[in-house]
Amino acid sequence: MATAAVPTPTSAPVPVAIPVREVLPWAAFMGFLALFLIYFVGAEQGAFAIFSGNGVHEFVHDGRHLLAFPCH
Amino acid sequence: MMRNLLVRGMLVGVVAGLLAWAFAWVFGEPEVRHAITFEEAHSAHDHNPAAMPGMDMGGHDHGDESEPVSRGVQSTVGLLTGVGVYGIAIGGLFALVFALAYGRLGPLGARATAGVLGLVGFVAVVLVPFLKYPAQPPAVGDPDTITERTVQYFGLIAVSIVAAVAAAVVARRLVPRLGTANAILASVGGYIVVMALIALALPSPETVPEGFDATVLWRFRIASLGVQAVIWSTFGLLFGVVAAKVVERPRDVALAA
């Protein structure tokens, strides 16, 4: 058959890992950004506060409850 | 490649946030409304018996005119912002963990890797911490213990993630000796034992006020778990599809050459 040498569509490519040193700088950047965002949704003006008042707390109030974070 | 993966993770996070928003609106908001109705009736009668009529002394009341954010905003735009920002943040972290896991979980391709991470992530980040510290609707949970409860909850999530990563590393090491299936079985069992002991040792400061409808509490918690299930299954099912185009391309090119 002429098609014998062509890889069949079902043969999955072998996964090649991304080198850790390529991931690390992005991990530092993304990790910091993500934890910062999660802090604002999950904890700001609840247990801890960067800004005074309760505007952030009240705005994300329902999301905080329904995402299972302790709200108040 | 990493930048591309992170962007795709956060875009899937936007999708996850929108789906979770719709789910939360349909299944969660009715219970939040019930809980707030209870909270207002409760605080008016019991919390401030000495307070003068018309004065709100309680630190946290909903629907009050002096509130900076109305219920209408909280339950729509506020809810969308909350779950949307959470979805984007989890999306970025999901992409990072995917970048480290892909190619290191045996023969698993992009879709299978994302599926495994979605399932493991939901169990380790949400379900197990939830079993110890379940979501609290408004009116449940003592405001005086918010700091302890927040530290305990985030702490338990951190411990659970560390235990899950450790279980994955151990499973990889055990594969040559026990075979894949038994190695996974042993490490999952180890994770359960470790987390059960930790949960047993941690305090349980749960305070459900008297008279709070148990059905509302149950439905709220199931809805909360459902919101998280929507988010994590979106990542598990969708991220692999969009990530495959990034991580599997170089190999495809090599095959074609």
Question: What ipTM goes with this model?
Answer: 0.84
- CB A72 to CB B60 under 8 A? yes
CA distance A60 to chain B (A): 5
- Token duo for residue B69: 């954010």
- CB A15 to CB B86 under 8 A? no
CA distance B29 to chain A (A): 8
A53 pLDDT higher than 90: no
Distance separating alpha carbons of residues B218 and B214, to the nearest angstrom: 6
- CB B82 to CB A55 under 8 A? no
By residue range, what is the domain housing residue B147?
142-205
- CB B138 to CB A71 under 8 A? yes
For the CA atoms of B228, B138, B209, B227, the dihedral, rounded to the nearest 10 degrees, stands at -10
Inside any domain, residue B109? yes
Chain B residues lying within 8 Å of A55, measured CB to CB: 68-69
Distance separating alpha carbons of residues A30 and B232, to the nearest angstrom: 18
Substitution target from A36, A52, A62, A72 for chain B, most B beta carbons within 10 A: A62
- Domain ranges (residues) in chain A: 20-66
Residue B106 and residue B169 share a domain: no
Placement of tokens 């055990």 in the chain: B174
Residue B91 and residue B79 share a domain: yes
CA distance A17 to chain B (A): 4
Contact call for residues B102 and A15 (beta carbons, < 8 A): yes
Give φ, ψ of A44 to 5 degrees: -60, 135
Contact call for residues B237 and B22 (beta carbons, < 8 A): no
- Token duo for residue A27: 């991990």
Residue B177 and residue B162 share a domain: yes
B165 pLDDT higher than 50: yes
Inside any domain, residue B65? no
Hey, is the C-beta of B218 within 8 angstroms of any chain A C-beta? no
β-bridge partners, A48: A44
Contact call for residues B178 and B139 (beta carbons, < 8 A): no
Using alpha carbons, select from B126, B121, B128, B153 the residue that is nearest to residue B224.
Answer: B126
- CB A47 to CB B149 under 8 A? yes
CA distance B139 to chain A (A): 8
Residue B185 and residue B103 share a domain: no
Asked which of B161, B184, B205 is the last residue of a domain, the reply is B205
Distances (CA, A) of A45 to A56, B24, B61, B66: 7, 22, 15, 17
Is A35 exposed, middle or buried (CB count within 10 Å of its CB: 0-12, 13-18, 19+)?
middle
Q: What is the pLDDT of residue B204?
A: 86
Residue B29 and residue B129 share a domain: yes
CA distance A1 to chain B (A): 19
Asked which of B205, B226, B243 is the last residue of a domain, the reply is B205
Cβ neighbours of residue B8 closer than 8 Å, sequence gap 6 or more: B95, B239, B242, B243, B246
Alpha helices by DSSP H, listed for B74-145, are 79-101, 110-121, 128-132
CB atoms within 10 A of CB A19: 10
Distance separating alpha carbons of residues B25 and B18, to the nearest angstrom: 11
- CB A38 to CB B228 under 8 A? no
DSSP letter assigned to residue B19: H
Q: pTM value?
A: 0.86
What is the C-alpha end-to-end distance of chain B, expressed in Å? 21
Chain A residues lying within 8 Å of B136, measured CB to CB: 65, 70-71
The band of B253, judged by pLDDT with boundaries at 50, 70 and 90, is: low
Give φ, ψ of A68 to 5 degrees: 80, 15
Partner residue facing B227 (CB), from A26, A31, A67: A67
Q: How many domains does chain B have?
A: 2
CA distance B110 to chain A (A): 8
A7 pLDDT higher than 70: no
B60 pLDDT higher than 60: no
Q: What is the pLDDT of residue A5?
A: 57
Q: Please count the residue pairs, one from chain A and one from chain B, whose beta carbons lie less than 8 angstroms apart.
A: 182
Hey, is the C-beta of A42 within 8 angstroms of any chain B C-beta? yes
Rg (CA), chain B: 22
Distance separating alpha carbons of residues B134 and B129, to the nearest angstrom: 7
- CB B29 to CB A43 under 8 A? no
Cβ neighbours of residue B223 closer than 8 Å, sequence gap 6 or more: A66, B23, B24, B27, B28, B31
Inside any domain, residue B30? yes
Distance separating alpha carbons of residues B216 and B113, to the nearest angstrom: 37
- The residue-averaged pLDDT of B103-118 equals 93
Hey, is the C-beta of A51 within 8 angstroms of any chain B C-beta? no
CB atoms within 10 A of CB B62: 22
Q: Which of B75-84, B94-103, B199-208 bottoms out in mean pLDDT, i.e. has the lowest?
A: B199-208
Chain B window 128-157: which residues touch A at a Cβ cutoff of 8 Å?
Answer: 129-130, 133-138, 141, 143, 146-147, 149-151, 153-154
Residue B186 and residue B115 share a domain: no
Percent of chain B with pLDDT over 70: 87
Cβ neighbours of residue B81 closer than 8 Å, sequence gap 6 or more: A59, A60, A63
Residue B147 and residue B137 share a domain: no
Residues in chain A: 72
Q: What is the pLDDT of residue B56?
A: 42
CB atoms within 10 A of CB B1: 14
Q: Which of A33-47, B1-15, B66-80, B219-233 bottoms out in mean pLDDT, i.e. has the lowest?
A: B66-80
- The residue-averaged pLDDT of B39-50 equals 63
Residue B224 and residue B201 share a domain: no
Residue B133 and residue B224 share a domain: yes
Inside any domain, residue B75? yes
Residue B90 and residue B14 share a domain: yes
A4 pLDDT higher than 90: no
